[in-house]
Every structure is written in C-alpha cells, then in structure tokens.
Structure 1
C-alpha cells in the first residue's frame, strides 16, 4: 500500500516540519537548513545507488529528513518575512501608493478592501515598500465600483492588527497574519484618491473586469435580489451580495458549501470542458492540446473567481489528474491529492492551518476512502434509488471526513445535511450548466431569455428546498465544544473503526477502542476541572459594560441593556468563552441596577458616578476590585482618597477621552489591555 503512494509518504514529514517551525516560532534568516539538507540529500542518493537493497531504509531516512528540514525552512522563511514587514512599516501618518487587490465591500459602518502597499513617502522621499493591509473607509458607495488593480494614493497611519480582546474570541489578527496581512488603516473622506500612476498589465484587474462583466450580464437578464446573491456566489464566488439571513438559512440546513465556489463547482466545469473538447481525443495533436486547454480553462475560471482558496485547491487537484492522465501514468488518487497539497504548502505553509484547507482535504479523503465501501453496503434494483443512494454515500463519506474539523472550528453540526445534499448537489450542478449556457448566450436574445428563465427556476427550486429543510425543527446540533486533542482523537476513532470495518483487521479495532477510552478519559477530566472553576471576568466590548461571575458551570452575567440586545456582539465576543468553560444558561442581571454577588470571595464595587466634593472618609473602603464604568471622569487621587482597592478596572463603557494613568500597576484598562480575568 505505502509503496504505491510515495507522495503521501513525503508530505507527512514536510507537515511535521511545518508544525515544528510554527509551534516554536522558528525563523530562517539564513540558509543553514539548506546547507544541512543538501549533503543529506546527496548522501541519501549515494547510499541508494552504491549500497545493497538492504540499505534502502537509509536512503528513505535521508529523504524523510530532507522533507522535514524543508518544512522547517519554508515556514521559517515565512516567519522571517512576517517580522521584516512588521519592522519596516513606519509609525505615524504617511503617504502610501497602494494597489487594490480585493474590491471594496459595504459593511455596517464602513467600506472594507484589501490593498497592497507599493511605496511610501517619508522625510527622505518616496521609496519601495511591500506590505498587504486591510483598508477601511467611511461608507462611500462610489468605492464599490473601483475595480481591483486600481492604484490608490492614501494618507494613513498604519496600525498593527489587535489581538483578541476577550478569551476564546476569534483571533482575527492571526487569521490575517497567515495570509500575510499585519496592518490596517481607517480613512476619512479626503484621505484617499485614485492615483494617475501608470498601471501596467495586471492579471487580477483583468480577471476582476471579466467577473464584473459577467455579474452585469446576470443583472441584464433580470436576475435580482436574493437570487442574484445566490447565483453570483455559486457561479463566480462573489458573496458580497449575500445577506445574513440567506447565510444563516443555508448554514443551518448544511448547504453553506454550495454558496462558495469549491471543488464541486470546479469538477462540474471540468466535466463540461472535457465534453466540449472531447473531439480533440480523436486527432494526434489533440492528445497534447487537450490537457493544455483543460488546465488553461480551469485556471482561467479560478482567476475569474478571484483565486479563492477552495478553487485553487480544487484546480490543483484536477490539474494533477489531467497531467497524470496525459502522461499515461498510473493514477493513484492519494498521490494526486498529496501532490496538490505539497504544491500549495511549498508556496504557503500557513495554509495548513486554515479551516478551509483542512475541510477540503478531509472531505476528499473521506470520499475516496469511504464512499465505495459505504455505497456497497446497500444495493437497489432501480436506477433512481441507486442514484439517490450514491449521492447519500458521498455525503456520508464527506461528513465522516470533516466531522472532527467541523466540531473543532464551528462547534455545531447540521443534522439534516444528508437530506439537503440530495437537493442541492444535483440542482447546483444543473444551475452551473444553466449559468454557463446563460453566459454564452447573446444579451437580450430569445435564447438568453429562455436560459435565464430556466436558470431562475432552478435557483428557486433549490432555495425553496433548502428553506424547507431549514424549517424542520431540531436541524442543528449546537454548543459542542471540542478542543484540539479531542478533535484529533475523534479523527483517530473514525479512521480506526472505518479501517476495521473495511479490512477486518483486529489491530484497527484495538486502536479505535483505545482512542475511544482516551477520548472518554479526557472528556471526564475536562468536566471534573470545570466543576471547580471560580472566575471573575470583565469583558472588553467597545462602548459596553459586561461582567461574569462563574462558579462551576453556573454563572451570573451582568451587562447593560444594549449589549443584551445585540446578539451579534454576544455571539462574537462572549459566548465562545461560555462554550469553552462549559457554562449553563446564565442568570442575567441588568446594569447599573445590580450588585455583584460574592461568589469568588472578592470584594468588588462598581462605580459610575462622579466622586463627591466633600471630604473623604478617615478610613477608606478596602476592596479587591473597583470597577469604573460609564461616563465618569475621574482623577487617580479621587479614587484612592475614597477607596483602598487592590486593582482599579476601567471597563469598556468609559469614553476614550477618559484616560487611565500610564504605567500605573494599580489600574487595568480593558479598552487597551483587553478583558480582565481572575480565576
């Protein structure tokens, strides 16, 4: 088995090297690793040629070590470039020449786009600079029409992205850092303008222009509103037109993967192209021309969709399949999968840590490993029922593969996704076929009207089906906390039991049972530790007050009325911490009309008024924590004349113009330092 999948054996030590370098924060500012790796590689080849067959393990060991060092090196280079970018960005406001990489999208209170800094102007004049950043501006609808590749001249103070302000909050800073983005800037009107800098040929700008013209064609054919958002996301990967309600419905029904261009879409495009160019197989030159045309079209489609990571991954996989077929080599799908992964990890080792990368590859691994055994469990006489079972077996295999990853990142699982996939997989394929046909038809023609009518009907049927599944009660299993060790153990359990059911080898059964025992022990230990937890936390949510007193799995949550009414802020900043700590539904107390319960044994006072002008008491009130909230101007001397606190906590409802003393250990400003947590 292992001898037939050499690339899979190569990728494992490479991934180990990536994990080692990332976990230890190793840098590669020099070529010492390669100086060590090249002799090792040469030594391996020397031993492989001159020595006997019995010494083949030594050659293999050299190759494994070389791949491990390669993983260390490429990841270390990424870490080195990251620190170099952070060091070369000047402080303060400067002029920057930027190229727009991703078009602006409208958000609740701003517009957001991704730009690439080309040069900066400082006291010495203009000079080159290379950095990516997120650019935020005041809401301006004119920015939405600025195409990718446009040069912008901005006056901005680049700020390093902030770490999460609350425990268990999504780490947006690390998420962007893995994409090479470390800074952001906010611009007001008058701080930016479109530059007349001579723009040469830009492939991204060309691709964005094609994408915008295709979107315009959808609008010209009467596709509007909700259906426009669904069709633009499904066909072109343009999800900015999808509103939150559509996303929620499709996520609860387990159909969110349909609304982003992924392997399914690229696979359908490949089948269409293979059918269209199939005639080339009959001619001699065609056998050479066909793979070139197929790969050119596949990557052109990937470019038009904005080189979204799922499309790039799928395009890599299919390209290796096409190449292997053209060369007449034996095609092992595990080798093809490993080759595409190695290629992506060589370009960017950090993609390994992305949820999308992990979901894509675990889904494909699940399908190629488990779909056939699952499908063989049942046989139906009729073709229709066999087709339904075939789609179901693909869905089951993909879900088994992605199950631990889904639980680890999203803490939820759609229970009716098998039913949803029976609807969306065949219909989405038909929608892609109809969409291609619509794009090929001349505008305002009878054929275009017919194609758009079919296209809209198909989208309407799919949307109605997804909405129907969403209305079935108990469709989403939520609030499942799985940490990294548990996710790995769940994956091992699935792999071992699946291997046992397929191969009937007792070793896999024993390994699966041992993994299950370790998982159960880890779960019991986590629950035991949670029962003894006592935590006091002041959250950091701009403009709001929110505190938690936690004892075991019970807790009292104190907050102002506005944060309690904002489900989005609770879901993003607070509920992940509740989930991590295994907390029950909270007892809610409304600020300011509440007193902090004495659960932790600490003496805590919330102060939101001005300090009185009368003489302070002779004996100050001794406290563990004094929390200042609301619009309460204060002076440090006033605080310590009336109270004797161990720590003064300034919560995030205090306006920004009320400053805390600098470098005073007696103050904790959650606006600046993030949430305060005492356990």
Structure 2
C-alpha cells in the first residue's frame, strides 16, 4: 500500500486524534480558532511556493498539527452546552419549555422523545428564547403515541441533568447520551404536554419518516407474526424497535446482529439490484453513463434516509458514492482512501460519531475484509465450483470477525463461536429477502394480488431464518461470555491483530519484532489484571431501587445476597462488574453461612476483619433491642421506619450507608441526624454503588 495512494487516510488519522483529545479534555483552548485560521493561510501560501526537498517535512508537520487542532476545536464547539444561548445558561431551573421533535420517538417502558428547545422558563410569561436538547420520557398513552418527527411541543416538567453511572462497569447511559449531544432529561406525564403545531423540521427527514411508517404498515400486513415482522422491518428498513429481548439475544449470541442493522451488505445488495435493472435498458454513451450514475445514487441515498441514516449505512453510502462517481469518470481509487475519505466527511458532519460503537464496528469490519480477505484467498486451495461462493462468504465473515474482534470483546464481552455458520444463514437468506423485499414494495403498490403471494414466501423465509438462528444459539458452547477486556488491552490486541499478519506477509524482521513486543505487552497486561483479581478483597453494595444487592469478592470467588431482586434486575446491576472482577465461583449467601473469611447471620455480616450490620424494611426484634454490638458499617435498606439514634445505640459505628431502596425524604432525615452526631454517611441513591476495598 503506497502512502501516496491514501491521502485521505493519512489526513484522517490526525483529524481523529484531535477529536479524541477534544472529547477527552472537553475544554475550549483560548485563541485556537484564530490559530487555525492563521495556520490555514500559511498552508495556502506554502502550497504556492516551491521548497527544497529536505524541507518537505515542514509542510507535513504543519498539516498534521493543523488537523489535530481542527479536530480538537470541532468536537469542543459541537457540544451543545458551549452555545451562549443554551437553556442551562439562560434558565437553569426551567420547568416549562417549547421545542421541536428532531428525531423519531422510540418506545420502551416510556416513549423517548428527543426535543430541540426554542424557549424555556419557570412559567409561560417568563419564557426566553434559547437552544439545547432535552430527552423526554413521556408516559405512553394514545395521545403520546401520535407524536412524530417535526411536531412542536409545549411541555410542563422540570428539566434535570442526566444522572451519572450508578454501578461500576455498567452501561454508562450519560456517556451514551453525551455522544448523542443530549445532557438533560425530563419525565413528562400525558397531561403535561401539548402538540402546538406539526410539520416542522427538515422536509427531507419528514418525507423519509413518513415513507418508513408507510413501509412498516405494509410489512405488518404481510408478516403477521411479531418476530417475523420485527426481523423483516430490521432487515429491510433498519427499524429494530419491535425486536423482542429473546430474538435480540439469539442474533447477538450467533454473531448475526449486524444483519439487523442496515449496513454495507444492504447497500451493496441494493446496488447490485439497481445495476441488474439498468443493464436491461438499452443505451450507450456518456449520457447513459451519467443517467445511470444519478439513478443509482438516488436509489442508494433514498434508502439511506428511509432507514434512518445510521452510521453503518452512512459509511456504506458514502463509500459507494465515491466508488460510483469514480466509475463514472473512469477512475479507480484505493479502498483505503475511500474509507478514510468517508470517515473524514462523516466526522466533519458529526464528530461524536467516532465514539459510537456502530461507527467503530462498521469501519473495523470493512477494514478487516479489505486487509484479511485477500490474504485468506492466497492460501485457499483449489475448490470445486459448487463450494466457491460458500467459501467466499465464510472467508468474508472470518475477515470481518477478525477486524472487529477487539471491539466486540470490549463492548459486548462475548464471542459467538458459530458466527461462521450463522453467517451463511443471514447472508444468503438476507440477500434473498432484501431483493424480494425491494420487489415486494413495488408490487404492493402496483399489483397487490401478486404481492400477497410474494409476501407469504418472504414470511416463510424469515420464519426459517429465525428458527435456524435460534437452533444455532442452542448448540453446545455457542457463545463464550464473560470475557473482560480493558481499553488498554483492547488497543494492544487491535494493533497485534493488524501488525502480526502484515509482518508475516512482508517477511521482514523489524515488524515481526514489533508484533512480538505487542504480544508481550498484551500478555503482561492480562497477567497484571489476573493477579489483581486473585488478590482482591472487596464488598460492594449496588444501586438497586426498592431492593438490596451486595457482593463480597475474595479472589475469584463471589458471595452474594439480595432480598427479592429478580434475575434480570440483578444481571443489569451487577453482571458486568462481576465479569470485570474475573469471578469463576459464585455462592448465594444463606442464613448462617460461614467460612474462614465470611460470616452471614442477619443482620450481621463479617467480611475478613470488617463487621457490618444490615438493617432492612422489617427490623428483627434483636435489631432494635439487646446489648450494643460495635460494627464498622451500618447499612440501612428497604426504607425502615427507624431513627438513627436507636440504630447507633444498638450498632455503634463510624459509617452509615443508605441503600438506594430508601425514600429520599427518609434519607434526608437520616443525614441530618448523622450530621448532628458527627457520623459519616454514604447515600447510594445519590452517589451510586458503595464499595469497601480491603488491603491485601
């Protein structure tokens, strides 16, 4: 790969590093904007001059520095909170506001409605013009289900900052929303909002969402079963709101979730279908070539907007656009250069895309295919003709899996063992369905009678795909879960995966030594992580509403107790932290449990040398009466109607911990009592999980 053939990839790297630095520091640098403008003028002047060859590095250094600074500046100013008219600056205690729905609402336990504010205030008469985004959690009613993109709302509800992470290693929802440029939220009752007007927003997006809703309605008529409809709408339109948790798990555990996110495969199949139609229309010459180019681009970008313009489909559409335009002007560009150019342009539009898992996985998969697939082809023995296409699908799947392996382990902590088997199902079945789905859309409008027959065939195809994927999920050892990879280890593994095959291919000692050095670092990082897990001694009280859950970790053993928390809630609160702690053996504590380092006899818990008292919703008789028992920590949970004074008389301690299952009003009363007696306290509901770490 000649560096001269990949200028955009070389420009993308400092640009992306600048964005990463800006997002990490998130602090404006005074004078940076002026410096970038001056740097731009200097670069323009240098382009017009001829320098000696030995000074060529000066221009390169200046370009790199400018791109680093530009990336930093771009991501900092992209943050909505940097705007001078942001509502948090003008009216930080806003309880009444007006705004426009700027994205399609999504349904869960509540309806999530992203709102772009135009005015906010404490009351109607004090509304002030402002900007900013708020995520509304709206009570689901027939009224709220009628909300659409472009609706202008009047809302009465207090705006609150998005809460930080409450449990260690859990999904950081605040970080996720930050990279959606949302930092505030409001919980809205059905009676607390009104639709004042409709039809606002971008006309292109309004049309795209309207078309999507019409197509979803069409799919409902042809796919009567919920799971079949959910997969059909995800495959054809990228709409995943109706996927059940069980179906998501089946596709995720088999490494097939990418098929349900509209991506390069979908755009590529659409491109092939459009070319198939155009090649049957007679005509030649430049006019025909450009008309064909325009028609294909129109089809691809219409599909892109109807499916919601997700990062994966945007990447694919930009890449195909560059490829198609290059073909039209009879020029072929390097795939690596197209990758760099498309990523550069997308980050110019939205720098936060760089931190989305979908964006990273999409580009990693394509890069893996471009890099590894040709290497696999070179070592493939001659095959019979009937096996060639199936073998290609297998190699492409393995190449994509290699490219995304570090990210998949880092984000999802599991590896689908039978991804190669499921790949044949979703690629072949998905291709047939997509081509059939495009035809179904046309026939549904022109020949409804014929479309019913095609719809029935596609319905049976989707049912077969779902049953096959679920059968693969049930195979022994179908998924390796609980794999924990820290960010540093993920970076080292990424470098190792790319460098080692390249070093072996070019057969030069220096790259091979570098790869071996990376392998040593990666092994050392893993060894240090494992050593820390073997030596750990800690107790953690998780943030769980209305219930209590705590874990005691001793090496690779875990001892847990909860009052009545169901399995799903327990997994949500604690599973990722347990994986991060390297647990291999788990024990559920029962009354009277005792071993050399833990004793549990409610309300008493002793963990190594630390003594705790755990007092709950219905205190036992000996929780209130009896001789004082000195403990290190007193934990109150379940909102017991007791006073701190009587607790301290029974359990003298130096720290009181309030679990998240207590009411805020009662916790505030307890805090006041603790302050009066000069007793330290910790509020799990406010600060998140409480952790007690003992020295080794």
User: Given the two structures, how large is their TM-score scaled by the length of structure 2?
Assistant: 0.90
Q: Which residue of 2 aligns with 1:63?
A: 63
Are 2:308 and 1:306 aligned?
yes
Are 2:646 and 1:630 aligned?
no
Contact 1:119 1:128 (C-alpha < 8 Å) held by counterparts: yes
Q: After TM superposition, give the deviation of residue 617 of structure 1 in Å.
A: 9.3
Distance 1:612 1:479, change over 3 A: closer
Report Cα offsets for 1:180-236 as digits up to 9, x if no partner. 111111122311222246747633222111111111112233544221111011111
Q: After TM superposition, give the deviation of residue 281 of structure 1 in Å.
A: 7.1
Q: Which residue of 2 aligns with 1:666?
A: 680
Q: After TM superposition, give the deviation of residue 81 of structure 1 in Å.
A: 3.5
Q: Which residue of 2 aligns with 1:156?
A: 157
Contact 2:605 2:614 (C-alpha < 8 Å) held by counterparts: no
Distance 2:479 2:458 in 1: 30
Matches within 5 A, 1:267-666: 267-278=268-279, 279=281, 282-442=284-444, 445-560=448-563, 562-563=564-565, 566-589=566-589, 594=602, 596-608=604-616, 621-661=629-669, 662=671, 664=675, 666=680
Q: Which residue of 2 aligns with 1:167?
A: 168
Report Cα offsets for 1:378-425 as digits up to 9, x if no partner. 133422211111111111110110001101111101000011111211
Distance 1:16 1:128 in 2: 36
Q: Which residue of 2 aligns with 1:116?
A: 116
Distance 1:376 1:491 in 2: 23
Contact 2:365 2:401 (C-alpha < 8 Å) held by counterparts: yes
**2:485 match: secondary structure:** coil
Higher mean displacement: 489-498 or 287-296: 287-296
Report Cα offsets for 1:10-45 as digits up to 9, x if no partner. 1111122122222223225x6x22322333344345
Higher mean displacement: 84-93 or 620-629: 84-93
Q: After TM superposition, give the deviation of residue 125 of structure 1 in Å.
A: 3.6
Distance 1:158 1:178, change over 3 A: same
Q: After TM superposition, give the deviation of residue 126 of structure 1 in Å.
A: 3.4
Report Cα offsets for 1:146-190 as digits up to 9, x if no partner. 332222222111111111111111100010111111111112231
Distance 1:198 1:253 in 2: 42
Distance 2:198 2:493 in 1: 54
Contact 2:169 2:580 (C-alpha < 8 Å) held by counterparts: yes
Distance 1:317 1:280, change over 3 A: farther
**2:185 match: secondary structure:** strand
**2:95 match: secondary structure:** strand
Unaligned runs of 5+ in 2: 592-599
Higher mean displacement: 363-372 or 462-471: 462-471
Contact 2:93 2:121 (C-alpha < 8 Å) held by counterparts: no
Distance 1:104 1:12, change over 3 A: closer
Report Cα offsets for 1:272-300 as digits up to 9, x if no partner. 22333445872432333333333232222
Contact 2:658 2:667 (C-alpha < 8 Å) held by counterparts: no
**1:658 match: secondary structure:** helix
Distance 1:135 1:195, change over 3 A: same
Unaligned runs of 5+ in 1: none
Cα RMSD, aligned residues only: 2.6
Distance 2:312 2:294 in 1: 22
Distance 1:65 1:328, change over 3 A: farther
Distance 1:600 1:323, change over 3 A: farther
Report Cα offsets for 1:257-282 as digits up to 9, x if no partner. 11121121112112222333445872
Matches within 5 A, 1:180-219: 180-196=181-197, 199=200, 202-219=203-220
Contact 2:80 2:181 (C-alpha < 8 Å) held by counterparts: no
Q: After TM superposition, give the deviation of residue 47 of structure 1 in Å.
A: 4.3
Distance 1:260 1:144 in 2: 24
Distance 1:351 1:151, change over 3 A: same
Are 2:246 and 1:245 aligned?
yes
Distance 1:550 1:453 in 2: 54
Contact 2:410 2:484 (C-alpha < 8 Å) held by counterparts: yes
Distance 1:213 1:168 in 2: 40
Distance 2:60 2:486 in 1: 35
Q: Which residue of 2 aligns with 1:677?
A: 691
Contact 2:259 2:430 (C-alpha < 8 Å) held by counterparts: yes
Distance 1:222 1:257, change over 3 A: closer
Q: After TM superposition, give the deviation of residue 83 of structure 1 in Å.
A: 7.5
Report Cα offsets for 1:649-672 as digits up to 9, x if no partner. 111222344233457462211112
**1:659 match: secondary structure:** helix
Distance 1:323 1:499, change over 3 A: same
Distance 1:468 1:380, change over 3 A: farther
User: Given the two structures, how large is their TM-score scaled by the length of structure 1?
Assistant: 0.93
Report Cα offsets for 1:288-333 as digits up to 9, x if no partner. 3333333232222111112222222221222222233333333111
Distance 1:540 1:280, change over 3 A: farther
Distance 2:24 2:389 in 1: 46
Q: After TM superposition, give the deviation of residue 103 of structure 1 in Å.
A: 3.8
Q: After TM superposition, give the deviation of residue 238 of structure 1 in Å.
A: 1.2
Distance 1:410 1:293 in 2: 39
Contact 2:143 2:190 (C-alpha < 8 Å) held by counterparts: no
Distance 2:44 2:283 in 1: 40
**2:497 match: secondary structure:** helix
Contact 2:94 2:120 (C-alpha < 8 Å) held by counterparts: no
Distance 1:296 1:657, change over 3 A: same
Contact 2:254 2:469 (C-alpha < 8 Å) held by counterparts: yes
Q: How many residues align?
A: 672
Contact 2:140 2:190 (C-alpha < 8 Å) held by counterparts: no
Distance 1:24 1:200 in 2: 33
Higher mean displacement: 295-304 or 633-642: 633-642
Q: After TM superposition, give the deviation of residue 586 of structure 1 in Å.
A: 2.1
Distance 1:412 1:21, change over 3 A: same
Distance 1:200 1:675 in 2: 41
Higher mean displacement: 666-675 or 35-44: 35-44
Distance 1:610 1:304 in 2: 55
Distance 1:602 1:82, change over 3 A: farther
**1:603 match: secondary structure:** strand
Distance 1:47 1:113, change over 3 A: closer
Distance 1:611 1:301 in 2: 61
